[in-house]
């Protein structure tokens, strides 16, 4: 069995806002293996970006461990983190966040190497820009002289300059139209094969997740409520929240019947920490015991779910 590249163990991130505490991430654990793409989905505000920022130590964690190739990043001093950054990179939702408006594309691509004392030749920069289907002539441009899709691709090119092991992509295609989106997905797949990259892919776009990701994790109110192979989770969702999330998208195959599952009310804020299942007040199938802490159930082949209704599932086993 190969060792995981990344192990996130019981991650918590709380923000203080005046006298209240915002529980943005609330006990998240998962592994990412070399060369695999893992999707992270869930509605706005559930803690996806915060999870990503904690993994990269752009944010200090409140509790938990982040093991990257066996080293606990949360225990490393800042100076040592900088040296490790070469191995993990992020592509931000807003390309403007990773591109300095005053830097040419050339300088933007050179910078991550320079930070690690590495030199980049002109040939290397040409290769980097061609890799993301742009032309060497784009190297001289400033961000405002590029389209949204071009900026996004420069962001991807920048992220892989240091040949990282892990790239976290936060909604990298949300500002793109459908054809460009497909373009970026094809590009990411190719780069993944070429460099044996691992991805954590954060998106609201479930069809992209389905195309790109080997596994998917579904997050709700700071917790992962279901995870497994993408096909297993999408074709046979067990958590009521996953069912609701998936039933909100149209099914291209009319022979597949999927009943629409609606949740009651609004998502509560991350300010109240709930005992038991965080979906209890919105779930139409709620049981008395859902007010108690929910164990995680194992449905086999890495398909895990934190929902008592999973007991109805044929693959059900109590997790060890
Ligand atoms: N710096 C901060 N200070 C206080 N609260 C924060 C901070 N950053 C995030 N939050 C809160 O933490 C929660 C999770 O936010 P996060 O950005 O991780 O959500 P998300 O899942 O990425 O959402 P989206 O899909 O909209 O990008 C939200 O309630 C948010 O308001
Ligand atoms: Mg976000």
9, 184 Cβ separation under 8 angstroms? no
Strands (E), 92-222: 166-170, 198-202, 215-220
* Amino acid 270: pLDDT: 63
Residue 136 has pLDDT above 90, yes or no: yes
262, 271 Cβ separation under 8 angstroms? no
Residue 83: pLDDT band with limits 50, 70, 90: confident
User: 56 alpha carbon to ligand 2 midpoint, in Å?
Assistant: 14
Q: Which domains does the chain have, with CATH numbers?
A: 6-213 (3.40.50.300), 237-318 (no CATH)
List the one residue out of 83, 114, 97, 115 whose CA is nearest residue 53. 97
Q: Tokens 């752009």 appear where?
A: 58
Torsion sign, CA atoms 223, 25, 30, 267: positive
Ligand 1 in contact with 50 (CB < 6 A)? Answer: yes
Ligand 1 in contact with 47 (CB < 6 A)? Answer: yes
pLDDT, average across residues 79-84: 86
CA 222 to each of CA 25, 26, 40, 201, 243: distance values in angstroms, whole numbers, following the listed order: 4, 5, 12, 17, 18
H helices within 196-239, ranges in order? 206-212, 230-235
DSSP code, position 87? G
- Based on the number of CB atoms within 10 Å of its own CB, is 187 exposed (0-12), middle (13-18) or buried (19 or more)? middle
List the one residue out of 24, 21, 30 whose CA is nearest residue 12. 24
* Amino acid 212: pLDDT: 94
| Total-model pTM | 0.91
User: 16 alpha carbon to ligand 1 midpoint, in Å?
Assistant: 12
Residue 256 has pLDDT above 60, yes or no: no
Query: pLDDT by residue (tens digit) across 190-228?
Result: 989 999 999 999 998 898 999 999 999 999 999 999 999
Which of the pair, 259 or 62, is modelled with greater confidence? 62
Ligand 1, closest atom to CA 25? 14
Ligand 1: residue whose CA is nearest its atom 19 = 45
User: 142 alpha carbon to ligand 1 midpoint, in Å?
Assistant: 30
Tokens of 91: 């592509």
User: 173 alpha carbon to ligand 2 midpoint, in Å?
Assistant: 13
pLDDT, average across residues 15-27: 91
Residue 250 has pLDDT above 70, yes or no: no
For residues 200 and 90, give the distance between their C-alpha atoms in angstroms, rounded to a whole number: 9
* Amino acid 53: pLDDT: 95
242, 74 Cβ separation under 8 angstroms? no
């Amino acid at each position: 069995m190969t060792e995981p590249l990344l192990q996130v163990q019981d991650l918590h991130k709380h923000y203080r806002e005046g006298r209240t505490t915002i529980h943005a991430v609330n006990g998240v654990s998962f592994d990412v293996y070399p060369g695999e793409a893992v999707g992270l989905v869930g509605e706005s505000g559930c803690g996806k970006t915060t999870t990503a920022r904690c993994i990269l130590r752009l944010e200090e964690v409140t509790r938990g461990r982040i093991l990257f190739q066996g080293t606990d990043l949360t225990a490393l001093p800042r100076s040592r983190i900088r040296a490790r950054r070469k191995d993990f990179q992020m592509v931000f939702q807003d390309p403007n966040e990773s591109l300095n408006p005053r830097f040419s594309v050339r300088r933007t691509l050179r910078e991550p190497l320079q930070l690690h004392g590495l030199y980049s030749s002109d040939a290397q920069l040409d290769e980097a820009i061609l890799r993301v289907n742009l032309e060497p002539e784009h190297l001289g441009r400033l961000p405002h002289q590029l389209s949204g899709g071009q900026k996004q691709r420069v962001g991807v090119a920048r992220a892989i300059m240091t040949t990282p092991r892990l790239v976290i992509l936060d909604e990298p295609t949300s500002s793109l139209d459908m054809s460009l989106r497909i373009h970026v997905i094809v590009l990411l797949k190719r780069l993944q094969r070429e460099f044996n990259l691992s991805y954590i892919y954060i998106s609201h776009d479930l069809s992209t997740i389905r195309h790109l990701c080997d596994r998917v994790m579904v997050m709700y109110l700071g917790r992962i409520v279901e995870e497994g192979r993408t096909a297993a989770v999408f074709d046979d969702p067990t958590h009521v929240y996953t069912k609701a999330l998936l039933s909100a998208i149209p099914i291209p195959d009319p022979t597949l019947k999927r009943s629409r599952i609606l949740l009651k009310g609004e998502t509560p804020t991350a300010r109240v920490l709930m005992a038991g299942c965080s979906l209890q007040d919105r779930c139409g199938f709620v049981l008395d015991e859902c007010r108690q802490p929910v164990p995680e159930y194992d449905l086999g082949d890495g398909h895990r779910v934190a929902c008592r209704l999973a007991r109805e599932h044929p693959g059900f086993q109590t997790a060890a």
